[in-house]
Structure formats: C-alpha cells, structure tokens
Amino acid sequence: MTATFIHGTKISDDIKREVAAEVEHLKRRGIHPGLAVVLVGDDAASSSYVNMKAKTCEQLGIHSRKLTIPSAITTEHLLAEIRKLNEDDSIDGILVQLPLPKHVNKHGILESVDPKKDVDGFHSANLGSLVLGHETLVACTPLGVMELLYRLNVPIEGANAVVLGRSDDVGKPQALLLMHANATVTICHSKTRNLQETVRRADIIVAAIGRTAMVTREWVKEGAVVIDVGTNKVSDRRDVQRLFGNDETRLKDFERRGYIWVGDVDERSVKEVASMITPVPGGVGPMTIATLMKNTIKAARMRRGL
C-alpha cells in the first residue's frame, strides 16, 4: 500500500472560494467583515505569517488591519490596544500573533480579547463552549484538520482516533472536535505508557507533539489516516538525507534555504502503510489560514445574530 497524499493547498483554495462568496453576500447586506492582527516585535517568521494572513484577507475581500507593536511594550499597554480593537465595530476578528515576548503576560492578553472576536479560539469562554459542544469559535489548526477529514469523506464516527500532543491550541481542541464527531479518542503525550502500541491501534492519527519524524511505520497500522500537524526545522543536511534519502526536491529546498520543515511523522516510511497522509509542508498549514478566514466570517455573522 502507498498512501494518498492529502494536499491541503487544494482544499484550502476551495474553502477560500467559499469564503469569498460569503464575503460578497455579506457586503450586499451592508456588512464588511474585518480582521485585525496584532504583531508584537520583529520576529521574521511571525512577520511572514502576518503578511500572509493580510494578503489572504485582501484576496478574499476581507478588511484587514495590521498592528505592529514594539517588543518592549508592557502588558498594560498591550491590553489597552486590545481594548480599542474590542470596541471597534469595524473589526470582527482579533488575532494576537504568537509567540509574545517573555515579559508580556500571554494568558492575560489572550483572555482580554472579546470572545466574540476571538478568531483563534483561544479564549477560555470559547474553549468552554467547545467542551460543551456549543456553537463557538474554534482554534484554526484543529478546525482545519476536521475540514480535511470531512471533505475527504474519512469515516470518523466510531473510529479509533489518537491525538499525539495535549497542547491548548491543537491537541486538546482536536480531541474534543473528534469526540463530538463520535470518534473514540485517546490523547497521548510524553508520559503515555506503551505509546507506540497505543498509536498503532488508531484508525486516525493526528500528530502534534513537536518531535521530528517521531512516528514511523512501526507506529501505524495498515490503512490508517495520518494527519501531521508538526512543523520542525531541520538544519543538518545529514538529517535531511536520513529522512528523505536522495529526494531531489527536498535536497534542493535545503540547499536553497539552509533548512527544511519536517513534520512529526516519518513520511518516507509511513506512506508505505497509511491510506492517507498529509505532507509537511503543504498539508495542514494552508488549512490553518483558510479556517482563520472562515472564522472571521463566522464571527461577523455571530456578532450580528445571523
């Protein structure tokens, strides 16, 4: 068996077209959806992500605002900026780009965002609503994973699903979404006993543990669907060759940039036993931005009782 690669770029393009159509529909009703992204500091990767989100907004007709704030800002001053966005009726969604500087109270900042505008789904009110199964704004990456599974007609109801990782932004909401879709869910982490055996029982594996190529073919039963959420930077050419052999595309990518991005799944071995697998990059990543756009439209509608 050789796995089918799940190309998130194509599916994300489908979602973006749906969002663009919805934006036009809302504008005809006098509603102009708006997204504000708050960037603290000058981290190159964070700046790149923010620019990508702004560009996507522009393509889909969503009003976007980028707030670039010096890294020396205090928690109190940043809270004041968030309050202004909360009160701004032209803004439907607020996203605080992470990571924040260490001296800033991350939890306090995320909790200060109006839950109705929390398009990242990180506010405790939205997480609590997710636990209860209420309609709410959900974290973009796990929501993107569910979109992939639904749109590929992967059987979820009754399936054994394993989520590798228990983070607040991916692992926990992912497990809840799968549970609400009637899967039988196991959350695994660094302290799980017999980890490999537990993962091997899964029909659906979502790997979000942050360890380069940890999941190998021995961890995966034949026919499983493997979703790789991991993004790990590999900067040693020997590691690239160990993971991908003489794959010309990967080697050229490494030579051009001096590093490549690799998931939590050993793609080369797992694709021989899985039925479907997401590549890194090009799998879950594009879905995260697409679902952010979808969440912005959802927030615009929910705020107006639509």
pLDDT of 190 reads: 87
| Spatial distance between the Cα atoms of 197 and 12, rounded to a whole number of angstroms | 33
- Regarding whether 50 and 154 lie in a shared domain, the answer is no
pLDDT score for 46: 87
36-72: pLDDT as tens digits: 999 999 888 888 889 999 999 999 999 999 999 999 9
- Distance in angstroms (rounded) separating the CA atoms of residues 251 and 240: 7
The domain in which residue 40 lies consists of 29-115
Same domain as 201, residue 277:
yes
Q: Is the pLDDT of residue 32 over 80?
A: yes
Q: Would you state the pLDDT for residue 107?
A: 96
**Are residue 155 and residue 188 in the same domain, yes or no?**
yes
Domain-located, residue 162: yes
Is residue 219 domain-shared with residue 178, that is, in the same domain?
A: yes
In whole angstroms, what is the distance from residue 188 CA to residue 205 CA?
Answer: 11
pLDDT at residue 43 in the model: 83
Q: Would strands 63-69 and 204-207 be described as parallel, antiparallel, or unpaired?
A: unpaired
Same domain, residue pair 61 and 197: no
Q: Active-site positions?
A: 53, 97, 120
What's the number of domains the chain is made of? 2
Structure token digits, residue 127: 């997480």
The DSSP string of 33-99 is: -EEEEEEES--HHHHHHHHHHHHHHHHHT-EEEEEEE-TT--HHHHHHHHHHHHH-TT--EEEEPSP
Q: What integer pLDDT is reported at residue 306 of this predicted model? A: 86
pLDDT digits (tens, 9 = 90+) for 194-232: 999 999 999 999 999 999 999 999 999 999 999 999 999
The HSE-up count of residue 290 (CA atoms within 13 Å, CB side) is 24
CA 94 to CA 97: how far, in whole Å? 10
Comparing 2 with 29, the larger pLDDT belongs to 29
